[in-house]
Amino acid sequence: MKQLPMTDPRQLADFEGSWSLYRRITPQRGPGAIFEGTAVWSPVKDGLDYLEQGVMQLEGQPAMQAERRYLWSDDLSVFFEDGRFFHAVPAQGGETDHWCDPDMYKGSYDFTQWPQFEVKWRVTGPRKDYLSQTLYTRS
């Protein structure tokens, strides 16, 4: 992945509130998908609750409602809803990863256009092979 320009380090409080999001999922083979919706980071005891809600449109399929939830902690660690560690967000932007046996997730955060930012995940393995690109814009 490319090296991103240095930016001011992000802190957990920078994300609090409501954001619009647009995600394009491009698989190596097969139909792609678009997700459009909102992401809301809300204060909770251990950091910020992340709730993403919107409409997922898979090529050739009816649109469907979708959502996901994470917990973001003060050090920008991200946890799944069940408490398992997902990844660490690089405070100045840059690369991160997550091993989800047997697939590898290689991520990149770009904060150079803050308060708009982009998150990319390249997922490869025997079960998955796609690129996910998400653009967040402050609502």
Cα-only R_g, the chain: 15
Q: Could you list the pLDDT tens digit for every one of the 139 residues in the chain?
A: 455 566 789 999 999 999 999 999 999 998 999 999 999 999 999 999 999 999 999 999 999 999 999 999 999 999 999 999 999 999 999 999 999 999 999 999 999 999 999 999 999 999 899 999 999 999 8
Give one word for 101, left, alpha or beta, with left for phi > 0 and alpha for psi -120 to 50: beta
- The reported pLDDT for the residue numbered 8 is 86
Is 61 among the domain residues?
yes
Is 2 among the domain residues?
no
Q: What are the tokens at 46? A: 């251990």
Is 6 among the domain residues?
no
- The reported pLDDT for the residue numbered 7 is 75
Domain span at 115: 12-138
Q: What are the tokens at 67? A: 């959502």
Q: What are the tokens at 88? A: 């660490």
Backbone angles phi, psi at 14, to 5 degrees: -60, -25
Q: Please tell me the pTM assigned to this model.
A: 0.92
CB-based burial label for 17 (10 Å; 0-12, 13-18, 19+)? middle
- The reported pLDDT for the residue numbered 6 is 61
- The reported pLDDT for the residue numbered 5 is 60
- Residue 29 CA, chain-centre distance (Å), reads 22
Task: State the CATH number of the domain containing residue 91.
Answer: 2.40.128.20
Q: What are the tokens at 55? A: 């409409």
Contact by Cβ (8 Å): 32, 56: no
Q: Which residue has the tokens 């909102």?
A: 38
- The reported pLDDT for the residue numbered 114 is 95
Q: How many domains does the chain have?
A: 1
* DSSP conformation class of 28: S
Is 56 among the domain residues?
yes
